[in-house]
Chain A
Amino acid sequence: MRICVKILNDFELLRFSTAGSVDDGKSTLIGRLLYDSKSIFEDQYDAIKSASEKRGEEEVNLALLTDGLKAEREQGITIDVAYRYFSTPKRKFIIADTPGHIQYTRNMVTGSSTANVALILVDARQGILEQTRRHAIISSLLQIPHLVICINKMDLVDYKQEAFDNIKRNLKISLRSSIYMMSLSYQFRR
């Protein structure tokens, strides 16, 4: 039996969730975030790499990091919240990657209920959809203090500023949370 000493790093804990319509790229974004922050173990990466190959996909599908259920992989959508963890030198993060499909809205609510920040993804080609509004309103009802609207898949609109501005103009929802905007493309390239 051993006894130990010393108190350790004091991190701040931040919980955030993803939201937005089905297929807008929530799980891929989280996968990319984990990849870029080097939070993926090699065996995990190997596993999703071979799973992607088996599915006949050319690139490593980073959404498979959170879409771990058999049914999710068969259908290519998120069904229930996946919780993932990573940290930077300043903060520890608890991520809740939630489903966009309307049928699983209750799971989105489950994952978002404890979040301090919600990332709401928007497909740059599609703009604000019914489900985007629904998730934004739910996040606000849940009293998540900060919402970040992420215009994703910018690569598919050639990174046009205009596309971003149009969506920004269309975003007329009155919410109680403070809102930030950003544009992204998190498709994985080797």
Chain B
Amino acid sequence: MNYRLHHLKELEAESIFILREVAAQFSNPVLLFSGGKDSIIVSYLAKKAFFPAKIPFALLHIDTGHNFPETIEYRDFWVKELGCRLLVGSVQDAIDQGKVTEEKGFNASRNFLQTTVLLESLENGKFDAAIGGARRDEEKARAKERFFSHRDEFGQWDPKNQRPELWNLFNARKHLGEHFRVFPISNWTELDVWEYLAAEKVPLPSLYFAHKRKVFERDGILLADSDFIPKKPHEIPLEMTVRCRTIGDVSCTGVWESEASTIEEIIEEVATSRKTERGGRTDDKRSHRKVINC
């Protein structure tokens, strides 16, 4: 057999299969959209999976209210591009209604409040599957998660008791009140994502490309100067050329000193930053500035 697919085509085929499987097996799925590259790629793949029909589910954005303005601008553009419906779950509303309490202090973030709002949005919308852009290479617990990941009636994942998932058979059986998270791009690495976005010429938020921004350093991480993050007296913002490696809530999205202004340069940066971050080399301290998106 000499037939073989380009590795990105193989990953694409796997993801499209899973997206179609979601449409076939669930009665009311929704796609979680954060505005970052991973949810962009999942929604892009969803468009391909059902083309020329429309994507048969809505996008759900859990909005912390602490966004980069560019994220919201991109979100609205992209929803129009895809021709699908956008639902928003608002953390601000949940705070105003007293359902969740805002954290206090310098490192306060609304990131953790998102979960409550997400679960409530899923319950209110009676969604039985929430499609997400998580990748197994992101984190050690994620590395263990199934494509179809079961959640109990409290929205909890039990990693010690996952179901078998053989070949391309996916089991969506559940009890009332339970739901699934589905991760179509589980097997993609960060580099795969960038290479695919480049090859497919997918439009991207400007935040990913090098731009001038006022930033300050905290615990070795560069944060964007913003009204949402209270600064300590010694934290003086400086203008630097930076880009985001991940996009999330302003309060916990680190930015990266970078001159990469095209997607090719980003790919090069992602590929070589692996090299410099690799074991044994501690030469360039700057390359170790960890990027967080908690």
Contact = CB atoms under 8 A, between A and B. Distances in A.
A173 interface: no
A66 B142 CA distance: 11
A12 B109 CA distance: 42
A71 B204 CA distance: 39
Interface residues of A, number: 41
B279 A2 contact: no
Interface stretch (B20-28, B58-66, B94-102, B164-172): B164-172
B275 interface: yes
Nearest to B160: A71
B143 A8 contact: no
Interface size class of B (residues with CB under 8 A): 35 or more
B176 interface: no
Contact of A80 (B7, B160, B187): B160
Interface in B131-172: 136-137, 139-141, 143-144, 146, 159-160, 162, 164-167
B56 interface: no
A95 to B, nearest CB: 10
Given A69-B144, A83-B143, A85-B189, A110 B7 contact: no
Interface string B218-254: 0000000000000000000000000000000000000
Interface of A: 1-13, 35, 38-43, 45, 65-66, 68-69, 71, 79-85, 92, 94, 106-107, 109-110, 113-114
30 contacts: A1-B203, A1-B206, A2-B204, A2-B206, A2-B263, A7-B199, A8-B195, A8-B198, A8-B267, A12-B4, A38-B275, A38-B279, A41-B274, A42-B277, A42-B278, A65-B140, A68-B140, A69-B140, A79-B160, A80-B159, A80-B160, A82-B140, A82-B144, A83-B143, A83-B144, A85-B187, A109-B166, A110-B146, A113-B165, A114-B167
